[in-house]
Amino acid sequence: RRTGFSFNRLAPYAGLDAYLDEIQRVWRLYCEIAQPIRVRSLRLRYINRIEVPLVGGQVDLDKYLKLQNMIVDDQHMTLTGFLSQYSAIDRETGHQVAVVLTAQNLEGDKLPIIFDNAATANVDLDPADWQGLLQTLTALRSLKNRVFFGTVEKQPCLDLSQ
């Protein structure tokens, strides 16, 4: 990145705690090289791919996602795709979340669902204040998890990842 620091991992993903030591290490290297003056924004972004199985050629999205009815007349229509996008601000912390939830094309007997979940905090921190950065990252993870588990049906989605 030209405008900041970014730490990325692809699947399989072990969870934020597994990477915190490495994030801190490369953050310190970044600070030595780039010499940032202040940290103005922190963001955690998770892009999950949930492969929902087709049963009898149909997908029961209600089993996996907590969504409002997307089709007015489900007796005569079959959902073939969707895109849901929203943003919100946590009233307690002022942190923001942006969510995109969409279906991809069928892959065999599975419907891939993309759940893009980004939590952002506007801050004013000294780059050397690792505890302040960590505290904010922890708050962002909490917000991200509230949104994720408020959107997916936890047990069926966990069963898919087994």
150 assigned to some structural domain:
yes
- Asked whether 143 and 97 are in contact (CB, 8 A), the reply is yes
Helix, strand or coil for residue 43? strand
12 assigned to some structural domain:
no
67 assigned to some structural domain:
yes
Cα 107 to Cα 4, 36, 54, 113: the distances in Å are: 36, 45, 10, 11
Decide the pairing of beta strands 96-103 and 83-89. Answer: antiparallel
Dist CA 40 CA 50 (whole Å):
32
Cα 63 to Cα 90, 112, 157, 161: the distances in Å are: 27, 14, 9, 15
The whole domain housing 99 covers 39-161
94 assigned to some structural domain:
yes
139 assigned to some structural domain:
yes
* Per-residue pLDDT reduced to its tens digit, 132-152: 999 999 999 999 999 999 998
Q: What's the number of domains the chain is made of? A: 1
- Asked whether 137 and 120 are in contact (CB, 8 A), the reply is no
pTM for this structure?
Answer: 0.87
* Per-residue pLDDT reduced to its tens digit, 75-127: 777 777 889 899 999 999 999 999 999 999 989 899 999 999 999 999 999 99
148 assigned to some structural domain:
yes
14 assigned to some structural domain:
no
